């Protein structure tokens, strides 16, 4: 059963279809929300709220093969409406202190720990639409057209947002 079939089944009241939809998207939505809010508590809370909004208005949803973009749009809007700054710094610092051990890549481990901390702070300071566009590109692998659908923006606007987000962050990456 593909995703559109699951949505239609859920509309008919099939709880198993609803469950499968949640299990398919919950993990990535939570990770995305964590990167947006910097808070484990907020990311889980907003993930649940995202599904509550989706299933609460399920009858109005028209499946067009872009459920992921639709869910991420709800999540992004919810995150934008919630101020998580109080939690963000503490959680980021805790998480950043754990990153170096398992972080692969072309960078030295000690530098990566400091860079992750600085990068997270800089990411948090970006305008929401730039942060969302960049995260959807780098972490969700969405192309510009899919990000545009998610954000309700034009492809050219997404191109500019991703570019500006990178420009703001590049100074934080060790060379």
Sequence-distant (≥ 6) Cβ neighbours of residue 106 within 8 angstroms: none
Place of tokens 């991703």: 162
Single out the residue of 93, 125, 154, 170 in contact with another protein (rule: CB under 8 A): 170
Q: Is 52 in the site for another protein (CB under 8 A)?
A: yes
Segment 2 to 41, residues that bind another protein, using CB under 8 A:
10-15, 17-19, 21-23, 26-27, 30-31, 34-35, 40
DSSP for 74-143, please give it: HHHHHHHTS--HHHHHHHHHHHHHHHHHH--SSS-HHHHHHHHHHHHHHHHHS-HHHHHHHHHHHTT---
Minimum distance, C-beta of residue 117 to another protein, in the bound complex (Å): 9
Sequence-distant (≥ 6) Cβ neighbours of residue 74 within 8 angstroms: 50, 53, 54
Place of tokens 């398919």: 24
Single out the residue of 43, 130, 150, 151 in contact with another protein (rule: CB under 8 A): 43
Minimum distance, C-beta of residue 152 to another protein, in the bound complex (Å): 19
Q: What one-character DSSP code corresponds to residue 12?
A: T
Between CA 159 and CA 102 the distance in angstroms is 32
Minimum distance, C-beta of residue 31 to another protein, in the bound complex (Å): 5
Residue with smaller CB distance to another protein, 9 or 80: 9
Query: Can you give the binding site for another protein, defined by CB under 8 A?
Result: 10-15, 17-19, 21-23, 26-27, 30-31, 34-35, 40, 43-44, 47-48, 51-52, 55-56, 58-60, 95-96, 98-99, 102-107, 112, 115-116, 119-120, 123, 134-135, 137-139, 143-144, 159-160, 162-163, 166-167, 169-170, 172-173, 175
């Amino acid at each position: 059963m593909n995703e559109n079939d699951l949505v239609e089944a859920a509309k008919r009241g099939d709880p198993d279809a609803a469950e499968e939809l949640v299990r398919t998207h919950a993990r990535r939505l939570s990770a995305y929300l964590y990167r947006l809010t910097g808070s484990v508590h907020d990311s889980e809370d907003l993930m649940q709220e995202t599904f509550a909004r989706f299933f609460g208005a399920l009858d109005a949803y028209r499946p067009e093969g872009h459920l992921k973009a639709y869910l991420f749009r709800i999540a992004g809007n919810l995150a934008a409406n919630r101020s998580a700054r109080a939690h963000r710094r503490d959680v980021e610092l805790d998480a950043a202190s754990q990153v170096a051990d398992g972080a692969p890549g072309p960078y030295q481990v000690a530098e990566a720990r400091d860079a992750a901390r600085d990068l997270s702070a800089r990411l948090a300071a970006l305008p929401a639409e730039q942060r969302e566009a960049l995260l959807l590109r780098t972490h969700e692998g969405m192309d510009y057209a899919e990000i545009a659908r998610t954000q309700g923006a034009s492809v050219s606007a997404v191109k500019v947002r991703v570019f500006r987000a990178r420009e703001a962050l590049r100074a934080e990456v060790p060379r």
